[in-house]
Amino acid sequence: MHARLLLSDGTVYTGVSLGAINDAVGEVVFNTAMTGYQEILTDPSYYGQLITMTYPQIGNYGINSLDVESRKIFASGFIIREYSSVYSHWQAEMSLDEYLKFYGCGGIAEIDTRALTRRLRDFGAQMGMISASNTPNEVLLNQLRSHPTLVGRDIVKEVINDKQYDWDSADAGSSQNEKKQCKVAVYDFGVKYSILRQLSRVGCAVRVFPGTTLPEDILAYNPDGLLLSNGPGDPEPVEYAVKSVRALLGRLPIFGICLGHQILGLAIGGRTSKLKFGHHGANHPVKNLITGAIEITSQNHGFIVDRDSLPNKMVDITHINLNDGTVEGMRHRSFPAFSVQYHPEASPGPHDSRYLFEQFITDMKNYYV
């Protein structure tokens, strides 16, 4: 079945329908990872976005029930060049097309993703619509242009669990009876399961709290540390989280990832801004300014903490992006709090930055000596 991708600037790409047959609307972004489409689709940080994969063939290893990063697909739609209906992997349970249909996610294949990526790179990310209907382009464009963008909206509340829960350490391959060295509270702003797996891997007992949880309820759990998770959208409207983190600064060690990094930045007085087309992929070079090492990182964000807005006497910049010089990591000088803009748990992506979870363990142990 024929399908179209319409951009809000009026550009139209024609291809074939993939997944659910419905109109899918969202911010169109491109991801440069070569693998990991299942992890990408189920990453809550992609809520409200249509994901373009720059790697040309997608679907060739199918879908399994293990490589998920949340309870469902959170991406609004999927855009690829060539769909492989034949899949081969020892863990595969279904095709990508079946998976998209199961969760009602619309997609499009057989379009020139190189041309689309260049357009997004040159003119910036913009709203788009995937449609397999016969509705005229002009009508669809009017609908698209009236759709709200992600800027200025709190969409964290639309992805988080509304109840706290304990992460089952058996999911990470460790014994549930294994003695845990630290107890960690996780503020869920759209947390990926792999972050919870990595915390469990390094010996943490993990309880996940909704991002709306009050600071006193976090402290009532008596955790050794607090992790601020990843999540979707613009950080500035998530004012309740910024206020909570500000109240918790200095009261326990804090580790922020992605949106959690941005929320920490806002909590200490910084500002955030939107990138032209964001960082999405598994091959972004980041320099560790403390060790001088170059890490290849997994990233997924459209907003950054503005370096010039951070109070110099309070914060040290620890990591920078080698592509555009943006802030990728920081540490508070007075309190045991640090954060990174990228994803040290990867999934998909390289494992260069997993040492940060061990660093969090060290911070917790040193804080309570």
CATH code of residue 139 = 3.50.30.20
Whether the predicted pLDDT of 169 surpasses 60: no
Rounded CA gap, 58 and 286, in Å?
A: 27
Which pTM was predicted?
0.95
Measured over the CA atoms of residue 196, residue 263, residue 182 and residue 289, the dihedral's sign is: positive
| 121 and 214, same domain (yes or no) | no
Are 324 and 177 in a shared domain? Answer: yes
Q: Which residue has the tokens 């170059």?
A: 294
In a shared domain, residues 302 and 323: yes
**Residue 165, domain member (yes or no):** yes
Q: Are 139 and 222 members of one domain?
A: no
Q: Average pLDDT for residues 257-277, to the nearest whole number?
A: 97
Q: Is the pLDDT of residue 318 over 70?
A: yes
- Domain enclosing residue 301, as ranges: 156-367
Pick the last residue of a domain from 117, 145, 173: 145
- Alpha carbon distance 18, 116 (integer Å): 17
Residue 23 has pLDDT above 90, yes or no: yes
Instruction: Give the C-alpha separation, 296 to 293, whole Å.
Output: 10
Average pLDDT, the chain: 95
Name the pLDDT band for 176 (thresholds 50, 70, 90).
very low
**CB crowding 9-41: b at 16 or more within 10 Å, else e:** eeeebebebbbbeebbbbbbbbbbbbebbbbbb
pLDDT tens-digit profile of 30-59?
999 999 999 999 999 999 999 999 999 999
**Domain end marker among 145, 175, 201:** 145
- Determine the pLDDT at residue 369: 65
Residue 151 in domain: no
Chain segment 206-239, per-residue pLDDT in tens: 999 999 999 999 999 999 999 999 999 999 999 9
Residues with catalytic roles: 258, 343, 345
pLDDT of residue 177: 43
Number of domain units in the chain: 2
Q: Are residues 323 and 179 part of one domain?
A: yes
pLDDT tens digits for 114-150? 999 999 999 999 999 999 999 999 999 999 999 999 8
150 in any annotated domain: no
Closest CA to 279 of 330, 242, 320, 309: 320
Domain co-membership, 171 together with 126: no
Out of 145, 180, 213, a domain closes at 145
141 plus 233 within the same structural domain? no
Q: Evaluate if residue 178 carries a pLDDT over 80.
A: no
DSSP per residue, 48-76: TEEEEE-SSEE-TT-B-SSS-SSSS--BS
Three-state secondary-structure class, residue 209: strand
